[in-house]
Structure 1
């Protein structure tokens, strides 16, 4: 799978492909999925900066766009973060709204089941190998994943992380071990304080997104070290 960066001469077509995948994915689901995806499409079409991958918007403005209260916004944005579709790039500060970023790769992976519905030409564009020295960001085809046991949640989470980004998994996630999982919280052990702090800062959202696909009761991830 692949998706080109939504900038430059072909930017309009690329944006239409992404929005088409989202829309058809929404229509293939129930009313709850449709509403959630309609909301993220509203954010993309009204406030998203494609070039910088930035969504700069406050909770009050989101509530106004969605015609809901801020409590609903908080709940919906948490759901999108759990899916791995959106992450906080810069938190809100006094006089400055939060800046979010979209993970277009995860978004397209999660909508891939509807690509044949859109058309064979669309599926071909999304799955063909990119040419060398282009501005295409490749979706790495899922390689041979670690052996998965149906009853082992952490093994399944590792497999999801490996399939999502093998290089990132090899560099960081494969070194983790699950120490505890209870009350909606998972505690993972890292071999060093540096690794624990770095993963907690950069990749907690991705870990939580992977867990949500195996154990929806998991709502938070904590990184610790034996040091």
Structure 2
């Protein structure tokens, strides 16, 4: 398997290979996915520090680079985190911007189907490199499905963030919550039972609200109904 460290001997080739894989993958998709991948490629090319695996750029600067508003930046960065393409290394606080690293393993896994479009030499190079260190995943009770973010709603993206942060809590209480409606700053979610709704409202409302506000700052209230 391809070496996931873009530093050291052969680092330059690995950088280009990773960007090529992401570009080829995106070009096989629709225009919205292509634009999203182009944004990430441009951000990586312009501001990512390969030697330190570090991307530390403010939302305002990213918005200027992408020619969008800061709300779009917030949603796109949250989606990249949900996909596992970006990983938070240090959360922003007190004037410091959030520091990200690249989720290279996930990027390679997601783009693997498109390697053949580049050519057999590319496939060979990507498949015959040094194996990364084996990571033993922590056990998770039951099988937790990855949230579907295709709708692009604030709740779909928030669920992806919550899934990445705490799979156990997500599996037990959050996965079954459905988006009922949005009225102004109030987001209404539907729970499968009264007990479920009461537990979420009592113990998880603050966490849900925080996740939603990371996606959409206009969300001011979470309401749980049955």
TM-score greater than 0.5 by the shorter chain? yes
For residues 54 and 67 of structure 1, what CA distance do their matches in structure 2 show?
23
Partners of 2:69 and 2:35 lie apart in 1 by: 15
Q: Which residue of 1 aligns with 2:124?
A: 124
Work out the CA distance in 1 between the residues paired with 2:33 and 2:133: 27
Change (3 A) 1:139 1:112: farther
**Alignment check: 8 A CA contact 2:90 2:100 kept:** yes
Deviations 1:94-133 (A, max 9, x none): 2321111110010010000111111111111222262xxx
Native 8 Å contact 1:2 1:139 kept in 2 = no
> Paired residues, what number?
156
RMSD of Structure 2 on Structure 1 (CA): 2.9
Which portions of structure 1, spanning 4 or more consecutive aligned residues, are displaced by more than 4 angstroms?
A: none
Provide the rounded CA distance (Å) in 2 between the counterparts of 1:85 and 1:139.
19
Question: What corresponds to 2:145 in structure 1?
Answer: 157
5 Å-filtered alignment, 1:1-227, equals 1-128=1-128, 130=130, 137=132, 155=143, 157=145, 178-180=171-173, 181-183=176-178
Unpaired stretches in structure 1, ≥5 consecutive residues: 131-135, 141-153, 159-171, 187-227
Task: Give secondary structure in 1 for the equivalent of 2:145.
Answer: helix
Instruction: Point out the structure with the larger strand share.
Output: 1
The two structures have a TM-score, normalised by structure 1, of: 0.61
Whether the 8 Å contact between 1:129 and 1:138 is mirrored in structure 2 is: no
Relative to the length of structure 2, the TM-score reads 0.61
Which stretches in structure 2 are left out of the alignment for 5+ residues?
136-141, 147-165, 180-188, 192-226
